[in-house]
Every structure is written in structure tokens, then in C-alpha cells.
């Protein structure tokens, strides 16, 4: 089964890091272990997709931009 984590609750401009982390942790704790989660995320200026497999402790990070473009657009706070 595939779950979806609402990007409006977890993206960079959606509250404090602690609040966003608690939302994600709460959602992952409610899984049966076999479920994967799709989590669109906007770290700053474009969207990426995280696919989380909690049981295997694996996160896939899918970024549609080439690395060179991402490095040029990455916020200076990183």
C-alpha cells in the first residue's frame, strides 16, 4: 500500500522543524511496516519527491533538476 504525506504540512515554509518532524514521525508510526510513503517536498524553490520505506529504513530522494542547476539554486543557509 502507498501512503501520501501532505506537502502543505511538511515543506520548508510549513511551521517549525520540530512540528514538521513530529508530523512525519507520527505518520510513519501508524504504518504496518510494509507501506511506502510518497512525500512531495519543497525545500526552497522547486519540488522534490521523497519515497520512504519505513520498514527497510530507506528514503529515496528524487530531484527532477540536474545537479548543477540545484547547486546554483540551493539556499545559502544549507
pLDDT at 71 over 60: no
CA distance 59 to 74: 20
Cell of 16: 517549525
Tell me the pLDDT tens digit for each residue of 15-50.
788 888 888 888 888 877 778 889 898 877 788 888
Give the CA distances from residue 14 to residues 2, 33, 38, 54, in Å, rounded to whole numbers and listed in that order.
23, 27, 17, 23
CA–CA distance, 73 with 5 (Å, rounded to integer):
25
* Mean pLDDT across the chain: 78
CA dist., res. 27 & res. 63, Å (int): 23
Listed by start position, the domains of the chain span: 2-73
C-beta of residue 50 within 8 angstroms of C-beta of residue 41: yes
Percent of the chain with pLDDT over 90: 0
Amino acid at each position: 500500500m502507498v501512503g501520501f504525506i501532505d506537502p502543505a504540512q511538511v515543506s520548508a515554509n510549513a511551521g517549525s522543524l520540530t512540528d514538521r518532524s513530529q508530523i512525519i514521525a507520527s505518520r510513519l508510526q501508524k504504518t504496518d511496516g510494509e507501506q511506502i510513503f510518497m512525500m512531495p517536498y519543497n525545500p526552497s524553490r522547486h519540488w522534490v519527491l521523497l519515497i520512504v520505506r519505513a520498514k527497510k529504513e530507506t528514503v529515496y530522494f528524487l530531484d527532477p533538476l540536474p545537479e548543477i542547476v540545484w547547486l546554483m539554486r540551493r539556499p545559502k543557509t544549507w
